[in-house]
A and B are shown apart, each in its own frame.
Chain A
Amino acid sequence: MLTERPNIPDPDGFYAELLGVHEGLSPDESHSLNARLILILANHIGDRAVLSAALAAARSSGRPAVSG
């Protein structure tokens, strides 16, 4: 089961750290870092059902594509 309730004890601190790790990086470098981070976290989670739920959640809360 994907944990949906708040689970990070220090939300503001974590958020600042997440931004901090990107400091001084070009957009491309930031994208690469994010990709590595996703893989590291995904491996930590390991549970395939949770990963699928997380992927679906990420996709569905993105901005819907505007066509035309």
Chain B
Amino acid sequence: MTFADRYPLAFRLYPYARVPDQDAATPVRHPVAIVGAGPVGLSLALDLGLRGTPVVVLDDHEGVGLGSRALCFAKRTLEIMDRLGAGRAMVEKGIVWQKGRVFRDRDEIFDFDLLPEAGHEYPAFINLQQPHFERFVMEAIVRAQAGGAPIEVRGKNRVDGVTDTGDGVLLDLMTPDGPYRIAADYVVACDGARSPVRGMLGLGFEGRVFEDNFLIADVKMTADFPTERWFWFEPWFKSGDSALLHKQPDDIWRIDFQLGWDIDREKELRPESIRARVDQMLGHSDYELDWCSIYTFQCRRMQSFRHGRILFAGDSAHQVSPFGARGANSGVQDADNLSWKLAAVLGGAPEALLDSYDAERVQAADENILNSSRSTDFLTPKTEVSRLFRNAVLDLARDHAFARPLINSGRLSVPCVYDGSPLNSPDALDAPARSRPGAPCPDAPLGDGFLLPALGHGFTLLALGCDAPDTLAEAGATARRLSVDVTEAPLIRERYLGAAPAGLYLIRPDQHVAGRWPAFDETAIRAAMRRAMGHDAC
């Protein structure tokens, strides 16, 4: 039986191998099955496996697809990857950056710094080609498997059917050896923007299409542009309505040209057409074309990311334009949010925890879609009047500082603060807003290292200048104390206490703040743990 790839591979990481499930008389049941081994499916599998939850990943290919997709990976993603054991390798391979410059024609009209403060282990951003990102996650999976983590990745296992049987989910799989079935307690569809699982369930994916085409040319050359994000509106070199330049590892540069809506796609993709544009920009032709593609984009999401025992994460659940780098970054945060909840529910926690995944990640998706839509409205004005104001902003920006913050060439990915989440407890500490309940913990130096790696995979009681027990068990979870002497950790004091003399933080397994108090208050903290574990959630 032939089993053709839909796209060429960059790395063959999980070759097809026959498994006993294929010969079983009745479908073998797994706690969690993940459809799709993209960045989101792999991150989720790794996280679940490290928690000891058996997980099987099904992908219709045998590795990572070739080509230019995600490039910019944000600090929060790297912090999550650090927790999962893949962050360091990514930063070593990646190009670290934090500054951006915006030009109009030849004039620089705006610049920004995405991490203007010190005291963070991970940088604001790295540029790393998506195939490498996925390879590093897969390598961490292989290391985790060697350490006993129950993760299986099955290549050339295509999901062709999905049936919710009420007490579980049945998956119809196709392999080079023919079809078989498995069952699962929960299925997570991480099968990308065209999500076959979403289609099989007949679920909608509504949103806005932006009428514009962007040409990506990844070119190989040696050049000494600084490692910053450079963006041009109406560039002097006239290779597009706008242009974007990013440095990638291995002397590859990503150039992105805005082509407009009515284009002859086939003609634009011819190497000579692409080279003409790149030549105009660079003023020479001393480079090789590494990979080129033309893409259009959309902003949309599913109405709900949970449908009973089937959950959606990553591009299958939501899609944004690439300006802002909010696609893969938010998908990895979906995985970060879902993994501990799924592990807890399989361990007996209430299913309300899975509803909180939906609530929190829909909130994040809406924030990303809002930012992404606003950027695209600025880049691709839809009407005469929106172009009028866009150009007015650009006209003013050179000489008038006030207009510069209105320039929007992409607002880059930052994690969502889950304000209003059912898992949050009321804020009881008069301390900085950046670490309020729902917020992702800000990093800060701690001893010879940093705070975030000291938080680990479970719940943490972060005791800042106050006492707390070593551990606190409640609602099926155990919180572990981490005491910090804030007189020796001034940035932890600044970011978590401000003017408050002491504080006790309850931190979730995904490093978001669940609640905070002036001191250890056992009744309040037990109640907060119950709430964070999905009990009493309103």
Q: How far is the CA of A2 from the CA of B393 in the complex (A)?
A: 24
Interface string of B77-121 (1 = CB under 8 A from A): 000000000000000000000000000000000000000000000
Contact in complex: A43, B388 (CB < 8 Å)? no
Tally of A interface residues using CB under 8 Å: 8
Contacts of B391 in A (CB 8 A): 32, 35
Q: What 10 A-B pairs have minimum CB-CB distances, sorted nearest first?
A: A35-B392, A43-B402, A36-B392, A35-B388, A35-B389, A36-B396, A31-B388, A39-B392, A39-B396, A32-B392
With A39-B393, A39-B406 as contacts: A32 and B388 at CB distance below 8 Å: yes
> Does residue B395 face the partner (Cβ distance < 8 Å to A)?
yes
Q: How far is the CA of A31 from the CA of B389 in the complex (A)?
A: 9
Which A residues form the contact surface with B (CB < 8 A)? 31-32, 35-36, 38-40, 43
> Does residue B403 face the partner (Cβ distance < 8 Å to A)?
yes
Contacts of A32 in B (CB 8 A): 388, 391-392, 395
> Does residue B208 face the partner (Cβ distance < 8 Å to A)?
no
Q: How far is the CA of A23 from the CA of B173 in the complex (A)?
A: 72
Task: Give B405's nearest chain A residue, CB to CB.
Answer: A43
> Does residue B434 face the partner (Cβ distance < 8 Å to A)?
no
- 6 example contacts (A-B, Cβ-Cβ < 8 A) are as follows A35-B392, A36-B396, A39-B389, A39-B403, A39-B406, A40-B396
> Does residue B400 face the partner (Cβ distance < 8 Å to A)?
yes
Chain A contact residues, majority secondary structure: helix
Task: Give B401's nearest chain A residue, CB to CB.
Answer: A43
CB distance from B381 to the nearest CB of A (A): 12
Interfacial residues of chain B within 375-405, with CB under 8 A of chain A in the complex: 388-389, 391-393, 395-396, 400, 402-403
Tally of B interface residues using CB under 8 Å: 11
Which B residues form the contact surface with A (CB < 8 A)? 388-389, 391-393, 395-396, 400, 402-403, 406
CB distance from B415 to the nearest CB of A (A): 25
Contact in complex: A43, B392 (CB < 8 Å)? no
Contacts of B403 in A (CB 8 A): 39, 43
Contacts of B388 in A (CB 8 A): 31-32, 35
Q: How far is the CA of A64 from the CA of B400 in the complex (A)?
A: 35
Contact in complex: A36, B395 (CB < 8 Å)? yes
CB distance from B387 to the nearest CB of A (A): 10
Contacts of A43 in B (CB 8 A): 402-403
Contacts of A38 in B (CB 8 A): 389, 392
Q: How far is the CA of A38 from the CA of B391 in the complex (A)?
A: 13
Q: How far is the CA of A36 from the CA of B389 in the complex (A)?
A: 7
Contacts of A40 in B (CB 8 A): 396, 400, 402
Task: Give B393's nearest chain A residue, CB to CB.
Answer: A39
Contacts of A35 in B (CB 8 A): 388-389, 391-392
Q: A35-B391, A43-B402 are in contact. List 10 more A-B contacts (CB 8 A).
A: A32-B391, A32-B392, A35-B388, A36-B395, A38-B389, A38-B392, A39-B393, A39-B406, A40-B396, A40-B402
CB distance from B180 to the nearest CB of A (A): 59
Q: How far is the CA of A31 from the CA of B4 in the complex (A)?
A: 56
Task: Give B389's nearest chain A residue, CB to CB.
Answer: A35
Q: How far is the CA of A38 from the CA of B403 in the complex (A)?
A: 11
Task: Give B395's nearest chain A residue, CB to CB.
Answer: A36
Q: How far is the CA of A32 from the CA of B388 in the complex (A)?
A: 6
Residue of B388, B403, B406 ringed by the most chain A CB atoms within 10 A: B388
Residue of B389, B392, B396 ringed by the most chain A CB atoms within 10 A: B392
CB distance from A21 to the nearest CB of B (A): 15
Task: Give B388's nearest chain A residue, CB to CB.
Answer: A35
Residue of A31, A32, A36, A38 ringed by the most chain B CB atoms within 10 A: A36
CB distance from A15 to the nearest CB of B (A): 22
CB distance from B109 to the nearest CB of A (A): 14
Q: How far is the CA of A32 from the CA of B395 in the complex (A)?
A: 9
Q: How far is the CA of A40 from the CA of B403 in the complex (A)?
A: 8
Q: How far is the CA of A35 from the CA of B406 in the complex (A)?
A: 13
Task: Give A35's nearest chain B residue, CB to CB.
Answer: B392
Q: How far is the CA of A40 from the CA of B392 in the complex (A)?
A: 10
Contacts of B402 in A (CB 8 A): 40, 43
CB distance from B276 to the nearest CB of A (A): 31
Q: How far is the CA of A36 from the CA of B394 in the complex (A)?
A: 10
Contacts of B392 in A (CB 8 A): 32, 35-36, 38-39
Task: Give B391's nearest chain A residue, CB to CB.
Answer: A32
